Amino acid sequence: MATPNRLWMALLLLGVLGVLQTPAPAQAALQPNFEEDKFLGRWFTSGLASNSSWFLEKKKVLSMCKSVVAPAADGGLNLTSTFLRKDQCETRTLLLRPAGPPGCYSYTSPHWSSTHEVSVAETDYETYALLYTEGVRGPGQDFRMATLYSRSQNPRAEVKEHFTTFAKSLGFTEEGIVFLPKTAPGPGPARCSSGNTASLDSPHAHRVPGPGSALGMQRSQPGRGAGQALETGPVDGCPHRDTGTATWGSAQAP
């Protein structure tokens, strides 16, 4: 009869083997021959996938927002997101610093003061882009997210299906994948979009100005000083439709 010590040792070995045999999450590929200049311009955050339990709880109150990617004056990219909060437009800008091969960037989370890595896994530049981000949000809290960027507010069904396949290949479950609805029509969203949907979806709508332009500088929300401007990450999604609280990375994140 096995002694208790031997039983515990056997269970321990089984546990170790179980950990060793558990496949690690697949690593996202990188867009071959990534061309940064073609990636610039306006994108809509159309889909998200995450491993966070908080994301699963809050995903129903997330909505689509507009982001503009512009070259930064000192290298890298400025990502400026615009969204509606309490019937007022709000913008947040984050600097993406080159981090390795073309298409790889890093940014600092304003909330956690940790560095997150983001990569452009796949894009055709004119229709969609698939991004993957990973980092640490706190002690023992790894952060992983896949993002679907689309040039249009109405991505095609096959683009959504492609994103779902991409997210699942990285280990995200069906429950952890969400496609974001457009902000409800009205005067507020129209102001934030600087025009109606038709003009935004025109072939030339995603042109951007050069480095250091207004789109590349950090902006503050109404009622805040320039030094108090809030930031959000490139895969952070958009603020809640009801509260305006950013999903990830901002100073308002839980």
Active site members: 65
Contact 127, 154 (CB under 8 A): no
What tokens appear for 81 in the block?
A: 């997101």
Contact 172, 49 (CB under 8 A): yes
Give the phi and the psi of residue 9 in degrees, each rounded to 5. Answer: -65, -40
Q: What is the DSSP letter of 101?
A: S
15: helix, strand or coil: helix
Dihedral sign for Cα 224, 227, 228, 231, please: positive
Alpha helix (H) residue ranges in the chain: 4-21, 36-39, 53-58, 157-169, 187-193, 197-200
Partners of 145 in the β-ladder:
50, 133
d(C-alpha 8, C-alpha 19), whole Å: 16
134: helix, strand or coil: strand
135: helix, strand or coil: strand
